[in-house]
Structure 1
Amino acid sequence: MGIMKMKRRSLDALKGNWGKAILLTVLISIITVLIPTAMDMQRSGGVESWVNDEAPGSLFSFVYEIVLMPFYVGVTWFYINLIRKEKAQIRNIFKIYQDGRLTLKLIWTYIVMIFFILLWTLLLIVPGIIKSISYSQTLYVLRDHPEYSATQAITESRRLMNGYKWKYVLFLLSFIGWFLLTAITFGLAWFFVGPYFSAAQAVFYDELKEQ
């Protein structure tokens, strides 16, 4: 599982698909950043009030984040299809919501993951970080095993990551330069870096599964 090899594979998968991937990144920005921000501004009574507002987020923001959980999963599955040279369509991300049972399972899986990570983090920061790495493949596992329950998918992620946690850390660190570029360009570079990073994460899972 060479990191450079995985990154090259992700770039190869993006050839001819950059337009679609960038469009998805724009859509993600609108759905996850612009809409919640606009709602918070409206709740606060304007831009100036929103900037100075120290109150916690609204109930709408909380519910909105829960509703978005299957969308986040759909994005990860989009990139799995992309790197496997399967049909990767943006509209398929929203088809998840047509299956109520699957939607609830994905939301529940997210909640269980967050709960477990928080429990470990309450003990010590380092165990929380280790567990978040162990659970990092859970949503990808559900792509290949939709019949799994939340705990089964988490357990499978832990099994897959056994012996590969440090490799995953090195993999993430290899993108530091790109993250810095995103910061320097005030987020503009993310329209390139986002698809690249997401595709590379999907490749990591695919390579990990073959191991």
Structure 2
Amino acid sequence: MLLQYLDYLGVAVFAVTGGIVASRKQLDFIAFLFFATLTGIGGGTLRDLLLGVPVFWVENEGYLFVCVIISIVVWFFAHLIEKLNKPLRWADAIGIAAYSVMGAAKAMSVGDTVLVAVLMGVSTATFGGILRDTIARDPSTIVKSEIYVTAAFAGAGSFVVLAHLGLPQIVAAAIAAAIALLLRGGAILYGWTLPGYRSGTES
């Protein structure tokens, strides 16, 4: 049940980020629906296509209803959401934490290897946001120096490790999601980064 809730949470908070982007560009309600749905289900769709399993929102249209509800909420309350501290980035952080675990868990459930499970967790957690920023023509966080993909990698990787160590899935999921959220939250609050590449010719 925790993994199911994480899946719904990931869709919902990523849909919020899509709606916020639409509100900042002062788009119409159909555009709100488009951005919320694209961002909410984009990562999970890529995951399921790569895993060769039925696409989750095709089997369960409840995920689409979540995106519609979020679109309506953001349409009416975007001005209040914007008063929160960095709402887009925090919603993105929660989505990364939830979806990095869910993506890895789904890959493991169909018998894929550890490396594939981690990759599925990372792609599930980041692809929706990449699509959102690309279509909106906004600078993507993925090309900035602050921790972003690393948080998704840490969440997916720690879940896979903890699950293989024999921890109950619910415990492994909770710990892994917390690790991902901690890393991304630190980047938002304190500008945490990892060392970047430097050419050997630079002084």
TM range (shorter): 0.3 to 0.5
TM-score normalised over the length of structure 1? 0.32
Higher RCO (Cα < 8 Å, 6 or more apart):
1
Computing the radius of gyration over CA atoms, which structure comes out larger, 1 or 2? Answer: 1
